[in-house]
Amino acid sequence: MSDITTKMIIDCVREVARRDVSGDTDIFTAGVDSLAVLRCRALLKKWTGVKVPGHVFFGGRTPEGIVDLIGADNAGR
Amino acid sequence: MLVVEDSPLYSAEFFATGDPWSYLAQLRREAPVSLHRRADGYEFYALTKHADVHAAYVDHTRLSSAYGTMVDGSYLPRKDSASGRMLIVADQPEHAAIKKPVKAGGFNRTMLARIGDTVRRNIRTALDGLAVGDRVDFSRVVAPALPMGVLEVLFGIGATDAGHLLERTRTMIGYRDAAYVGGSSLDSLVDAQLEVLDFIEELIDDRIASGADDDMIGMLAQLVASGAMSRDVALLNGLNVAVGGNETTPHTASLVVTTIDAERDQWRGVVDGRVGADVATQEFLRWTSTNSYVQRLSVADFEVGGQVIPEGSFVTLWNMSANRDEDVFERPDEFVVDRQDNKQIAFGAGMHRCIGAPVATLEVQTFVEELAEWDKAFEVVAPPRRLHSNFMLGLTELQVEVVKAKALVA
């Protein structure tokens, strides 16, 4: 799961929501919604083979926060 | 106008352990239109009379659905990304454009007949699996049989997938209730929601590939394929139908069982055939009022019950209160199994009246018919546990013992 980088999150937000965000932008304030998360998740799976649980997006909120949460989830397993 | 600070109508706890029926009856008598405030500043008007609730339902131009139909659905009066794209939160003209294909694909006569057969089969299977002396939690063992058949037909899926989908939507709606989710409730909500959306998207892709349009998902999929509907709209409305269908009738079924247990003499009329299952079903719908209220936002001043509700206000329409209105129902606080000309408003009214109302009525009536025919009956053996929700009146646990039918209606 640690293969997922902040850049990947930024790239997928650009792709699915057509928004340019930086590592510390709250993606939901920037206009991402559940359906965009759904698409983002599908893209990440295509790129890395990993299916990220939805709550990681809503809990992390920023690309950096999301990656941190993925790492934390991973470490806890 | 009565202003209630820290109103119990906000409290899921009050609906699980208190007496919301009495509180609403008091409002109906003393302050039919009232304003309810919470410490954080959220406030809504509450309509409690049948006539006022009905008037509000049909005035969809002044009372918008686009700002969420649940209190706290969104904190500020603002639209969210599903507004105008999902039936329950769409105003005209978008609403009509979405409703037409959903209704044509999912709720036509052929589909209703297929749903009826499947629901009956599932209810029979559930009841046949029970023997005299069995003690079960009805809400988990039997109640899900009602919506399961609907899902099987509308979504074109097997019983296993339907059961899985039911668990997910249950988590979404009941995420505040510890009976349905453990641990972090909001995490469970979003994970469940995304899983349901993923699942529906897979179904849509399957139907686009196969070209099949013989169920609701197929119909939506072909609209997506032809470009007449966006994929997002198809997904959102698939989700809307799944949640609306799953998280209502199981609760109604559980409350039908507790009502029969409490009203055994009246139930005998249905068993003997003196009271039609259709008539009894209308009274069960009035009595249980599973969806307690819906919320609207006034987009213009709205006059109701001799009061003016200013533009920009949340307004709640209390179905459960309207269904006990003494001006409309004789003996409103009594269950009357053979009530005639029943004006129950459990499904709302006007263009937003529950799109699944014919299906839900069919489910409940089929359940009533099968119970009346059954050679056994359910006896409630422990106080039921009510759902922690002010939006859905239901039971999360209903311990029953299976007894001989004669034991209940001697």
User: Which residues of chain A are within 8 Å of residue B82 when distances are taken between CB atoms?
Assistant: 33
| pLDDT tens-digit readout, A57-70 | 988 999 999 999 98
Q: Backbone phi, then psi, for B5, in 5-degree steps?
A: -85, 145
Summary count for chain A: helices (H), strands (E): 4, 0
| pLDDT tens-digit readout, B206-228 | 999 999 999 999 999 999 999 99
Residue spans of alpha helices (H) in B247-375: 249-262, 264-272, 277-288, 319-322, 357-373
CB-based contact (8 Å) between B191 and chain A?
Answer: yes
Q: Do A54 and B191 touch (CB under 8 A)?
A: yes
User: Which residues of chain B are within 8 Å of residue A54 when distances are taken between CB atoms?
Assistant: 190-191, 193-195
Tokens 């904190």 sit at which residue?
B75
Q: What is the ipTM of this complex?
A: 0.82
Q: Do A38 and B197 touch (CB under 8 A)?
A: yes
Name the pTM for this structure: 0.91
| Residue-by-residue pLDDT tens, chain B, 410 positions | 999 999 999 998 999 999 999 999 999 999 999 999 998 888 999 999 999 999 999 999 999 999 888 887 655 566 777 888 888 889 999 999 999 988 888 888 999 999 999 999 999 999 999 999 999 999 999 999 999 999 999 999 999 999 999 988 888 877 667 666 555 667 888 888 899 999 999 999 999 999 999 999 999 999 999 999 999 999 999 999 998 888 899 999 999 999 999 999 999 999 999 999 999 999 999 999 999 999 999 999 999 999 999 999 999 999 999 999 999 999 999 999 999 999 999 999 999 999 999 999 999 999 999 999 999 999 999 999 999 889 999 999 999 999 999 988 77
Q: Helix A6-17 vs helix A63-75: angle between axes, to the nearest 10 degrees?
A: 130
| pLDDT tens-digit readout, B39-53 | 888 899 999 999 999
Q: In the numeric block, which tokens belong to residue A25?
A: 């932008």
Asked if residues B203 and B217 have their Cβ atoms less than 8 Å apart, the reply is yes
Closest CA to B43 of B21, B68, B72: B72
User: Which residues of chain A are within 8 Å of residue B198 when distances are taken between CB atoms?
Assistant: 38
Summary count for chain B: helices (H), strands (E): 17, 13
Give yes or no for a cis peptide into B383 (omega within 30° of 0).
no
